[in-house]
Each structure stands twice: as C-alpha cells, then as structure tokens.
A and B are shown apart, each in its own frame.
Chain A
Amino acid sequence: MSQALISQVLIGLSVAAILAIAAMGLAIIFGIAGVINMAHGQFIMVGAYTAAVVGQLGGNTFVAIPVAFVVVALLGLIVERGIIQWIYDRPLETLLATWGVGIILEVLMKVIFGPELYYVGAPKILDGGIRLIGRLPYPYYRMFLIAVALVMLFVTLYIIFRTDFGLKVRSVRRNRAMSGCLGIDTARIDMLIFMYGSGLAGIAGAVLAPIKSVSTTMGFSYAVGSYMVIVLGGVGNLLGVPTGSFLIGEGETLLAYKYNAVIGQLLVFVAIVIAIRVFPRGIFGYHERR
C-alpha cells in the first residue's frame, strides 16, 4: 500500500467516527425509543451552539461536552414531555411533529444568536498531530474523535446491558404492558431514554463543532447521514452504529480518493440501496421469520 492510501484508510476511520458520533443519539431515540426524530440534526446544532457559548465564556471542548449533554437533554425533556409522550404509538406522526420541532429550533437559534456563523475552536492540547504512518500527520483531534465515538458506544452498551435502568429499558421495549404490570414506570423510562439520546446528540454537536462549521442550518446533513448509518447497520441494534458508520466512512473516503468526492458519495448511496436489498433489516437487524 502506498503512503497516501494508508493515510486515506486512517482518515476513513476518523470519518467513520464522526458519523458514529452523530448517529449514536439517533440510534437511541430512533432505534430504542422508536421515534422518527427529524429534529436530530437540530439537536446536534443546539449542542454545537452550546459549545460556542461555552467557548466564548472561556471553556473548551472538555467543558462543553457535559454542558451540551445537559442542555440538549433538557431540550429533549421538554420535547418529550410536551409532544412525543402523546404519540409514541404513532411513529410516522413523530416524523411530522419533530419536523416542526426542528423548524422552530432553527428559527429560535437564529433569533437568539443571529444569522452569522459561529466560532468553536479545538482545545489547545489537541492542537497539531503526529506522523505515525502514511503521508499526512494524523491530527490529535481526530484521534480524540475516535476515542469519543468508542466511549459513547461502550458507555451506552454498559448502561443498556449492565445497569438496572438498562434492564428496565430492555424490558419496556420488549413488552410494555407487562413491564407496566410489574411496576416499572414506563413513561419515566421513555422520558429518560429520550433525554439520554438527546444528550448524546448534544455531545455530538459539541465535539464536531471544532472541525465543522457552526450555523443554524448545519443540522439536516447530519440527520441524513445518521439515518443512513442506522438503517445500514440495523435499527434497534447498537452494534449497527459502528458497523454502519465504518462501512460508510471508509467507503466514502476511499471512493473519494479513487474518483472524487461527488462520485464517492453517489456510489456510497448506491451501495446502501444494494445493501438494504441484500439485508432488508440492516446488517445487524433482526431477520423476521415470515
């Protein structure tokens, strides 16, 4: 392998990490809570603006991560209590309602912060990069992103599979009525899991802001990418997120290197269509016996 190609594969890893970070919150809200959240991109946007505000107050990304988690989780709480709790049994209508939420969030942020782009810098410690292998130095910040993606994944897996709360989440998801009978407050579980998913979207906004641009309209493309990742990996399966994002991330960067960015994206979309045709429930999805 040539030096350039090695660099490209490493870059692909970081792109996959970015996709995974953006998709993680949606994997919870969409995969586990079953809400088609069209405002996911706007949740990420709110997280990014939170990071911008934290930055202006003198904090860096490490401070912004918990703050964004809390802020967007609270936003998720408002949305869940105000709207989503009434429509859990009508998944397709959550699409419409959250679309409205997304629009409102965009306008609100524009009114509060003005129409201009916002600056979010990377922390000083993560400045620069190291030349390990390949042609380009590998930025510390991209290593940090890969680490964040892994931490988000493992923390989520831990919460779902090794805690009491996770047990309740799984049981509600399995059989809501029975869980209710056994004394689990299902509405509270719904609320908490929605908040947790929103919070993860907030973290995504905070950690992606230093390498992307921050504006009120930044959300939609993240939402599209996240849906692609989740559906390719398999809805409702947390391991689908790393798988889907790895395939899309590496595919896109390698194709972009071979041809160009536009063709790369085009071919990846074609590949996703084919992949869903082959795995109708996503790669890790559950294959129903019919």
Chain B
Amino acid sequence: MPKTIRRRSFLKGSAAGLGALVIGTTAPYYFQRNIAKAQEGDIKVGILHSLSGTIAIIETSLHNAELLAIEEINAKGGVLGKKLVPVVEDPQSLVQVFAEKAKKLLLEDKVAAVLGCYTSASRQSVLPVFEEYNGLLLYPTLYEAQECSKNCFYTGAVPNQQLDDFVPWIIQTLGRKKFYMIGSNYIYPKETNREVKALLEKHGGENVGEEYAPLGHTEFSTIINNIAGSGADIVFSDLVGDSIVAFYKQFRQFGFTAADLPICTPITTEQETAAMGPENAAGHYTSFNYFQTVDTPENKSFVERYKAKYGANQVTNAVMEAAYFQTYLLAQAIEKVGNTETDALIFDGLPGQEFKAPQGPVKIDEKNHHTWLWARIGKAREDGQFDIVWTSQDRIRPDPWVDYLYPNKDCDFTDPKVLERVKKPWAEDKNRSGTIDL
C-alpha cells in the first residue's frame, strides 16, 4: 500500500500523541477544580443524570430542568442566604457508573442531596450506596413502586396515581373493554400491566392479549398484525424510549386510526408526540400528572422560562416537571430545618413539604416518601400537545403497594418501630437500616 504512516518518523508522531495524552490526562484536573470552586458555605447539590449513552436523550432534559430550578432559586437569593451549587456528573447510562458517581458525590463532594437517576435500574444500583453512607436522593421518574427507602424521596408518579382512574375512565367514558397490552420487556411495563389486569378484573374489562418487545425494538409490524387479529378495541402501551415513536408511526401506516383503536399509555410524553408527528399522535390518550398545556400560572411561567433558557422549540413533560419541582422541594426543606444534615432533611424537612408546582400544589407524603400528585388524562392534538380531557378532583395519595394487589403491605416512616430501626447508623445495623419492606 502506498501511503502509510510508518514511513514517517514515528518518533515525532508518538511524541505528539504522548503530548496530547499528557495534556488530556491533566486537563480534567483544572476543569475539575473549576467546577468545585464552591465557596465555603455554599450548598452543593449533586446532579446525576446520564448525558451520554442510550438514556441520555431523556435524562439530559431532566438535567436541564434541575439546573433551571437551581438557577431560579439562586436568583431569588438562594437558600438560607447561601447559593446552591450544582455538581454535575455524567454516569454514561451505565448502572455501575451510577453507583460510583453516587459514591463520589457523597464522599468527596459531600453534597447535601443528589437529584438524579431515571431508570429503575439506575435507582436500584445507587440506593445501596445512599443507604450505606446515609445520603439523600430525590428521584423524579414515574416508576413501578413497591419500594420504600429511608434515603430516597420519589417525586414521580406511582402506578396508582396514573392507572386507578385511567382504566375505569377508558372502560366507562370511552366505552372500550377489550385491552391489548404491549410493553417493553422489563420490570416497569410488566408491573404496570399486572396492575392494569387487576383493574380490568375489578371494572369489568377484558384482557385480549399481552406482548413484550425487546428494549429499543423498532419493528412493530408483527405485533400490529397480532393486534389486528385479537379483536381488541383499545391498545394499552407501556413501550419506552425509541420504541414509542416507531410503534405509533407504524401503527398508523398499517391502517389503524385513533378513532378505531386508540392507544392509551401512561408513558408517552410531549417529547415523543412531537417526534412522531401530528398525523401519528393525534387522538391517542396519555395519563399523566402534568402536561405542558396544564392551565396554571406556575406552569405558564415554567414553560416560558424553560424555553427562554433552552430554546423555543423545546417541550416540557411530566418527568421534567418533577425534576424541576423536586429541586424546589429540596430547597424549601433545607430552609425549614436550617441546615443540610441528611437525617434532619429526611425526617423533618421533606415529609409533608408542599410546593405550588406547575401541575398544581404537590405534597410529599408524611409517611411513605412518595408525592401527592394530580391525575390527568390527555388526548394528543395535532401539534403534539395534549388536550386535557379529565383532571382529578384533588391530589391523589401515592400508594406504593396498591391495596388490590398487596393488601397487607405498606410503608410508614412515622411508625416508631420503623423509626427506631431506620435511624440506626448503617455500621450498627447492616441489616438494611434504610429500606423497609413489611
């Protein structure tokens, strides 16, 4: 072959390469110092969302929402007269890196609290770290529930807040009873569908099919063929990520319209409806506690400020909203207890804390560390936004273990027996001082 580098003086090349490497290796230290220049007395808050890797698409928007909230809080004078300083880490969508970064945030940066995680997998991987070193995690995502950790507060919806009203609403208002359930193949869709099946039994619906696609699957023709043969009159979808857009697009290409066979889902947000296009999104239903179209003054200003900071074509969605208001909840809690001690925040600051969030006033439950949220059902419009067709009368109590599936389970951090156990330091009782599961 005529041209190869080996003809050059390899010494020059390797010296240049080595030089670049040396610069590359040492440069981060300077940058690192740059970021951690938090002054004495500033309050550090860890932000732990993947900015690279497969889940980065969603998590970057959460990261943005949290930074926006921190900026606003600082603009209003900060907390206890001090500034909130974000310490940003990128866990690269890898679960072990989540745990490492959590450890670093707690031990080296000594952050007051960490806002972070999106998938259940990442949350489960960091929880042991938070429990061992008694840190505080605020987790903004809707998830499959059945968990209660002393060191974690969940500001996203649990299934009972999205499904308990949604399924009966479909059966009664839409008058459709034959459910075909599809989902991505992992724990969240399976748990959600288990709950949907229980609700169907309770309210007189029928389960005509259930199917799971591999995560990231984008070829749905077979599943659509199966749906066509099942006689379903509603499709209940728990697909996540890239699958959502591909499914909606292919669903319509195979001749299904929202009027014939609407897709109902607790996951599809404005971000995906905007990406699938008006003709594919319009007419399908989503159940969420927040939509960009929610008509509250707080929401209007939130959407306005978000667009001003990150670009006019940005959309907001429920998970981002949770990421946004949980930052405020944390700030209020620190303000309330007057310091950043983890146990004070966990037992005194955060429980019962209320905030006028964009979706309406929300409150952290006194007992189970989850959040009282509103329930809404939206019908997708042509522009990718949702018409809100139903709103709950009041905030819905979070119930991590719904009664109709787990009658004897609940979690209560005000119970003295539980308190006695969870307040013990980890070193004294490695027998899971943090999480309770009764």
Contact = CB atoms under 8 A, between A and B. Distances in A.
Instruction: Report if A and B touch in the complex (beta carbons < 8 A).
Output: yes
Contacts of A14: 221
Interface string A7-18: 110010011001
B3 A187 contact: yes
Contacts of A256: 222-223
B260 to A, nearest CB: 12
B211 A260 contact: yes
B435 to A, nearest CB: 31
Contact of B185 (A142, A217, A252, A262): A262
Contacts of A100: none
Interface residues on B, range: 35 or more
Nearest to B244: A213
Given A213-B246, A261-B223, A85 B3 contact: yes
Interface stretch (B56-64, B121-129, B156-164, B417-425): B56-64
B5 A262 contact: no
Given A11-B221, A139-B254, A260-B212, 16 more contacts: A8-B225, A14-B221, A107-B52, A110-B60, A116-B274, A116-B315, A119-B275, A121-B277, A135-B228, A135-B229, A137-B255, A211-B249, A211-B250, A217-B54, A260-B211, A261-B212
Interface in B225-258: 225-226, 228-229, 242-246, 249-250, 253-255
B216 interface: yes
A146 to B, nearest CB: 13
Interface of B: 1-5, 52-54, 56-57, 60-61, 185, 211-214, 216-219, 221-226, 228-229, 242-246, 249-250, 253-255, 271-272, 274-277, 279, 310-311, 314-315
A107 B52 CA distance: 8
Contacts of A187: 2-3
Interface string A109-128: 01000111111111000011
A50 interface: no
A117 B2 contact: no
A18 B57 contact: no
A226 interface: no
Contact of B246 (A114, A118, A211): A211
A208 B61 CA distance: 26
B246 A117 contact: no
Contacts of B216: 221
Contacts, number: 138
A218 B242 CA distance: 8
Contacts of B61: 115-116
Given A129-B254, A262-B185, A215 B225 contact: no
Interface in A213-228: 213-218, 221
A15 B52 CA distance: 29
Nearest to B213: A261
B143 to A, nearest CB: 21
A16 to B, nearest CB: 11
A129 B255 contact: yes
Given A119-B276, A187-B3, A136 B222 contact: no
A162 interface: no
Contacts of B5: 86
A14 B219 CA distance: 10
